[in-house]
Amino acid sequence: MPVPIAIAALIILVLAPIWAYRWYQEPFLGLLLEPNNIVSRISDASWPAIEQGAKWPEQMVSLNGQPVTNAADVEKVLTTNGFSPLEAVFLDEQGYERTLRLTPIHVPLADWIKLFAIPYLAGLTFFLIGLWTYRMRGHLRAGRAFMAFAGAVSLTATTFFDMNTTQHVVLLWSLSLFMASGALVHLAFVFPQQMPFVDRWPLMRFLSWPVSILLALPAVRELLFPSSPRAYIQTWLMGYGYIAVTMMLFLVMLTVRIFRGESPVVRQQSRVIVFGAVIAFVPMMLFYLIPTVLGGQPLPFNAALYFPLLVILPLTVTYAILRYRLLDVDRILGKALTYTLVTALALVFFYLLVALLSIALSWRVGADNSLLIAIYLLLLVLGLTPLRNFIQRTIDRLFYPASADYHRTLNTLSSHLLVTPDLGRTLQFLREQMQQALKPEDLAIYLYDDDHRTYEEHTPGIRNKPVIPASDPLIGVLNNDSTAITCTLPTEN
């Protein structure tokens, strides 16, 4: 699944700029059009057609007396007419007709950047991050699932402009909504740790794909064989609802792993991804997807805001998949949260102090009052460090209890070593504990052979085990450094 999606994303990444540049050079009526020439929700009050009252979901049916049924028809009329005024006829949902006299303009460059360039760059970023992760971890289920998700979101972002303008691949844009949702659920099933039911029934990790296909079929039917000009809208609303549900499911499954994950590494990975997913998903869910699906009045879709925010998610997922210096990330996130809370409390305390002094002195104390500033600075000097330490300890206890897990693992190992003199059983127990605590992809245990002055691997079932001399530079580094060592190994081409 990830390879076909990646190929499709790559093709669109090449074609989308060509289509967008050609459209940019054409006359602009002052509105965007969805399939069947339905006026798009995406608009700007300064655009000519919008300024004169064109609105979603009216349908534009003719230009200068010539019937227009799709984007190609509109382009043909505008190419012939140029920038001369023309008459556009619109039909509302009740079938009432009205005519607007419009003068085409050059589309503002700022709007073109906002509607095409920014979503396109977000899609390109998704694709490159997904491709890099697939190259590094393509042998893992999580790596393949992430490539499928990144490719689908790349398609959604890079075809977003085409869906509202030239409509060469509007069907692909519709399908990408459901593909991205299915890939997100697939990723949630296998990363950062496979769900128990996937361990029992491995094919269950593909469960979201047939669901996505079934939900996408009505959208395909209405775009290819429309039952009415606006029928596709309901299928897109279904896609928006599906996206919102899968986003919430993704967050819920990660939150469950934070509190119930078997390994501290899994819990740390989940915290990192939740941090990115909240930034990427929550604004779009709260301000656009959910209000749109529920029939309310959503805020205008701000492509320049939502698509860049989405990029935060693949960055955090990639970081967690590669698992490079993951503990440092937790420490950074913890400190960022600490300083954010300290800053917020300091501001609250300042305005509380203003209110208290105003009450005590019976007159309104201004924020620039010298007495207020002196008292505030004194209290800040005395209380800032204790407050910061208290908040840091509280956050560490609530969100980053991994150190306790490692201590518990070490204590278990120590007690077992005291009662198990057999080397084979001890190594087996050590492997089990390391697998449970860290979930490594590969695990090798080396023991020192005093007779040969070498370190030999003790892993059952492996022949031709590599032997490391005691004089090897790696051994010197490990002996002199008490912290974990991260090594980059060359890959075979």
> What distance in Å separates the CA atoms of residue 169 and residue 192, rounded to the nearest whole number?
34
Contact 143, 321 (CB under 8 A): yes
pLDDT digits (tens, 9 = 90+) for 260-286: 766 676 777 788 888 888 888 888 888
pLDDT digits (tens, 9 = 90+) for 466-483: 788 878 887 777 777 666
Residue 346 lies in a domain: yes
DSSP string, 35-61: GGGEEPS---TTSHHHHTT--TT-EEE
Based on the fold, state whether residues 186 and 249 are members of the same structural domain. Answer: yes
Residue 492 lies in a domain: no
> What distance in Å separates the CA atoms of residue 215 and residue 225, rounded to the nearest whole number?
16
pLDDT at 430: 76
Q: Which pTM does this prediction carry?
A: 0.68
Last residue of a domain, one of 324, 341, 375: 324
If one counts the domains in the chain, the total is 3
Based on the fold, state whether residues 193 and 317 are members of the same structural domain. Answer: yes
What DSSP character marks residue 105?
A: B
Residue 439 lies in a domain: no
149: left (phi over 0), alpha (psi -120 to 50) or beta: alpha
Based on the fold, state whether residues 317 and 336 are members of the same structural domain. Answer: no
Based on the fold, state whether residues 189 and 242 are members of the same structural domain. Answer: yes
Residue 168 lies in a domain: no
Binned at pLDDT 50, 70 and 90, residue 304 comes out as confident
List the one residue out of 362, 347, 360, 184 whose CA is nearest residue 281: 184
pLDDT at 326: 41
Based on the fold, state whether residues 227 and 274 are members of the same structural domain. Answer: yes
Last residue of a domain, one of 400, 422, 453: 400
> What distance in Å separates the CA atoms of residue 150 and residue 250, rounded to the nearest whole number?
15
> What distance in Å separates the CA atoms of residue 141 and residue 136, rounded to the nearest whole number?
12
Based on the fold, state whether residues 302 and 370 are members of the same structural domain. Answer: no
Residue 109 lies in a domain: no
> Which residue type occupies 277?
A
Instruction: Output the CA–CA distances (angstroms, integers) from residue 51 to 42, 47, 48, 103, 206, in the order listed.
Output: 13, 6, 5, 12, 48
DSSP string, 429-479: HHHHHHHHHH--SS---EEEETTTTEEEE--TT--S--EEETTSHHHHHHH
Please name the residues in contact with 328: beta carbons below 8 A apart, sequence gap of 6 or more: none
Of the two residues 69 and 329, the one the predictor is more confident about is 69
Residue 421 lies in a domain: no
Based on the fold, state whether residues 271 and 356 are members of the same structural domain. Answer: no
Of the two residues 33 and 266, the one the predictor is more confident about is 33
User: Beta strands 66-67 and 86-91: pairing type?
Assistant: unpaired
Binned at pLDDT 50, 70 and 90, residue 322 comes out as low
Based on the fold, state whether residues 51 and 178 are members of the same structural domain. Answer: no
Tell me, what CATH number does 54's domain have?
2.30.42.10
- Which residues span the domain enclosing 90? 28-102
Based on the fold, state whether residues 299 and 352 are members of the same structural domain. Answer: no
Last residue of a domain, one of 80, 102, 124: 102
Residue 408 lies in a domain: no
pLDDT digits (tens, 9 = 90+) for 422-476: 677 777 777 777 766 666 667 778 887 766 778 887 766 555 667 888 788 877 7
Six-digit token pair at 399?
Answer: 């969100």
Based on the fold, state whether residues 313 and 384 are members of the same structural domain. Answer: no
Please name the residues in contact with 94: beta carbons below 8 A apart, sequence gap of 6 or more: none
Based on the fold, state whether residues 292 and 386 are members of the same structural domain. Answer: no
> What distance in Å separates the CA atoms of residue 318 and residue 314, rounded to the nearest whole number?
6
Based on the fold, state whether residues 266 and 372 are members of the same structural domain. Answer: no
pLDDT digits (tens, 9 = 90+) for 180-203: 999 999 988 888 777 888 878 888
Instruction: Output the CA–CA distances (angstroms, integers) from residue 492 to 144, 162, 198, 372, 384, in the order listed.
Output: 19, 40, 31, 67, 53
Residue 263 lies in a domain: yes
